[in-house]
């Protein structure tokens, strides 16, 4: 982002995230923020049955498995039976036509000259192409199954109109329509989200194809994002060897829906300390479900402060954060993440490079600043996770459930897969 543009957006960027505008206020702000996090943990320590701390470090309990009673199980079975008998059954083609009549998502896949007043034939051809890619049957087989639509028509639509930009625009319309349903409000308000990857065996050659030990074959991973109202608002193909953490910001910053997301959940693969810095600078909460969280380090700022039961962990000589270094480069940090948010640089590309720096080999003031700020942000988040472990698990569980429900994510994944194939040719 040019310096002149950054100067115009600077106060708005820091103000929206609740961060200090002047670098002179940074040290006291970070010290107060970290102190408040530790105070909340210390005050709740007597009643915290999940996480305790002593001279040997963290001790975490294991949640017991909950089983439904006989009455609750009977009520659940009755609900499932009722839903099964009252669930509406409709052909996929009729469903696409009905949804398109309501929101007009097919226009995103049409040429600009046809979007204003498309003919029924144009709509049918576009929907047939969506089904051909979404059901993974291909345009040739689809042309044999559909009357009035030729292979050349479907091939033209698939090759020239099924772009990633068009797919994201259409997906945003569907997501906004889901968010507008009264039923979706019972699931969530669209303010939290979760992300995870799914791998698909893919022997054909594409750009993101890599060898997967799980499949013992070449495969492709789709990193998908789902809001708390079960709206799948973003999906991107990545290599199986890539760590998911670098792609967490892409779905939040570059989706085209109207969702106002405030909190995001991931598993351990979506976690790095740098992500804590990114979410803090963008004014959002990052809640990863970290495997082996008891082995994670937390840090201090004020050496004279009494941290109560946490003194045995943060009182070591290598657990002190250098806030002066953060304050010195505070404006550069804001400039970096404002550029990522505005799309001047792709977040996944930048985060992969930042995460790849080894301070033992290459160390600069900027990377050291990120490391210090990441320690402060991760310490706050880890304390919150140890207090609200059930909340983080429940937030990520929604994504796991939607992954099992193939209707949520498989169509998006297959469309992205076809787009990846097209880009590789």
Angstrom distance (rounded) from CA 97 to CA 174: 13
Angstrom distance (rounded) from CA 48 to CA 25: 33
Please give the pLDDT value at position 424. 45
Residues 44-70: what's their mean pLDDT?
75
Residues 6+ apart with CB under 8 A from 43: none
Please give the pLDDT value at position 398. 63
Say yes or no to pLDDT of 233 above 70: yes
Please give the pLDDT value at position 425. 44
Say yes or no to pLDDT of 419 above 50: no
Q: What percent of the chain has pLDDT over 90?
A: 17
Please give the pLDDT value at position 393. 63
When the pLDDT of each residue in the chain is averaged and rounded to a whole number, the result is: 82
In Å, how far from its chain's centre is CA 163?
22
Say yes or no to pLDDT of 338 above 80: yes
Residue 306: exposed, middle, or buried by beta-carbon count in 10 A (0-12, 13-18, 19+)? exposed
Say yes or no to pLDDT of 154 above 60: yes
Q: Which 3 state secondary structure label does DSSP give 244?
A: helix
Please give the pLDDT value at position 203. 65
Cβ–Cβ contacts within 10 Å for residue 246, how many? 25
SS3 content of the chain, % helix, strand, coil (to 5): 60, 10, 30
Say yes or no to pLDDT of 187 above 50: yes
Q: How does residue 320 score in pLDDT terms, banded at 50, 70 and 90?
A: confident
Q: Which helix (H) or strand (E) holds 348?
A: helix 347-355
- The β-bridge relationship of strands 263-266 and 192-201 is parallel
Is 143 in contact with 156 (CB distance < 8 Å)? no
Say yes or no to pLDDT of 53 above 70: yes
Say yes or no to pLDDT of 300 above 50: yes
Say yes or no to pLDDT of 223 above 60: yes
Helices (H), 161-223: 164-179
128 vs 408: which has the higher pLDDT:
128
């Amino acid at each position: 982002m040019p310096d002149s543009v950054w100067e115009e957006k600077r106060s708005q960027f820091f103000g929206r995230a609740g961060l200090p505008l002047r670098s002179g206020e940074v040290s006291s702000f970070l010290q107060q923020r970290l102190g408040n996090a530790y105070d909340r943990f210390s005050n709740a320590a007597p009643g915290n049955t999940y996480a305790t701390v002593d001279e040997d470090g963290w001790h975490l309990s294991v949640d017991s498995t909950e089983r439904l009673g006989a009455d609750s199980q009977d009520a659940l079975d009755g609900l499932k039976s009722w839903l099964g008998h009252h669930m509406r059954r409709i052909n996929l083609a009729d469903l696409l036509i009905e949804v398109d009549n309501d929101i007009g998502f097919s226009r995103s896949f049409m040429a600009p000259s046809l979007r204003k007043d498309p003919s029924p034939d144009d709509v049918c051809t576009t929907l047939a192409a969506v089904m051909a890619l979404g059901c993974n049957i291909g345009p040739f087989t689809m042309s044999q199954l559909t009357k009035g639509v030729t292979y050349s028509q479907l091939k033209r639509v698939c090759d020239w109109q099924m772009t990633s930009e068009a797919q994201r625009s259409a997906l945003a319309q569907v997501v906004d329509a889901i968010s507008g349903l009264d039923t979706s409000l019972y699931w969530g308000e669209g303010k939290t989200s979760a992300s995870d990857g799914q791998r698909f065996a893919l022997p054909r050659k594409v750009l993101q194809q890599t060898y997967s030990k799980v499949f013992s074959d070449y495969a492709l991973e789709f990193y998908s994002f789902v809001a708390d109202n079960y709206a799948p608002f973003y999906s991107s193909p990545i290599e199986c060897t890539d760590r998911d953490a670098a792609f967490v910001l892409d779905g939040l910053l570059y989706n085209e829906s109207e969702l106002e997301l405030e909190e995001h959940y991931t598993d351990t693969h979506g976690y790095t300390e740098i992500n804590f810095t990114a979410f803090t600078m963008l004014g959002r909460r990052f809640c990863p479900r970290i495997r082996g969280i008891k082995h994670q380090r937390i840090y201090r700022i004020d050496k004279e402060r009494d941290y109560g039961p946490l003194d045995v962990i943060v009182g070591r000589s290598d657990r002190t954060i250098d806030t002066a270094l953060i304050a010195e480069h505070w404006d550069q940090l804001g400039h970096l993440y404002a550029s990522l948010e505005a799309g001047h640089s792709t977040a996944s590309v930048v985060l992969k490079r930042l995460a790849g720096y080894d301070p033992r080999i290459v160390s600069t003031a900027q990377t050291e600043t990120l490391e210090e700020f990441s320690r402060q942000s991760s310490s706050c988040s880890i304390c919150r996770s140890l207090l609200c472990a059930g909340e983080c698990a429940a937030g990520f569980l929604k994504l796991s459930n939607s992954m099992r429900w193939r209707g949520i994510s498989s169509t998006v994944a297959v469309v992205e897969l076809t787009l990846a194939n097209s880009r590789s040719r």
